[in-house]
């Protein structure tokens, strides 16, 4: 298992995901067509970077790839569980002495 390359790949994967979100916002909200085109080009570059780093993660560390797939697959269930834990406390109605 290669820890440092896996860390760098995961960090760069997060960077490209964030840059894809920013590029999508620029592409959709830009007032000028030239800036909108720049947003689409940046989005294509960010998605290409994400795809490349997903492939690198799969190739460099299959266990980390499996963990990432599991985390992304169960993201809605985990978010719902966190929401229920935060807002549906059973002990809110109890009076503490």
Identify whether 18 is part of a domain.
yes
Identify whether 36 is part of a domain.
yes
pLDDT at 24: 93
Instruction: Provide the number of structural domains found in the chain.
Output: 1
Identify whether 59 is part of a domain.
yes
Identify whether 89 is part of a domain.
no
pLDDT at 42: 94
Identify whether 15 is part of a domain.
yes
Q: Where are the alpha helices (DSSP H) in 1-97?
A: 3-29, 33-60, 62-73, 75-87
Identify whether 48 is part of a domain.
yes
Identify whether 30 is part of a domain.
yes
Q: What is the CA radius of gyration of the chain?
A: 20
Whether this prediction's pTM lies above 0.75 is answered by no
Identify whether 47 is part of a domain.
yes
pLDDT tens over the chain, length 97 residues? 566 788 888 898 899 999 999 999 999 999 999 999 999 999 999 999 999 999 998 998 889 889 988 888 888 888 888 888 777 765 555 555 5
Which residues, in sequence order, are CB contacts of 13 under 8 Å at separation 6+?
50, 53, 54, 57
Q: Determine the structural domain holding residue 32 and report its residue range.
A: 3-63
């Amino acid at each position: 298992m290669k820890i440092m390359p896996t860390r760098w790949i995961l960090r760069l994967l997060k960077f490209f995901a964030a840059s894809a979100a920013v590029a999508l916002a620029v592409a959709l909200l830009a007032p000028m067509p030239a800036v909108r085109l720049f947003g689409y080009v940046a989005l294509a570059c960010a998605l290409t970077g994400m795809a490349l780093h997903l492939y690198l993660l799969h190739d460099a560390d299959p266990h980390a790839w499996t963990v990432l797939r599991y985390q992304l697959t169960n993201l809605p269930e985990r978010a719902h569980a966190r929401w229920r834990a935060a807002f549906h406390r059973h002990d809110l109605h109890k009076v503490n002495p």
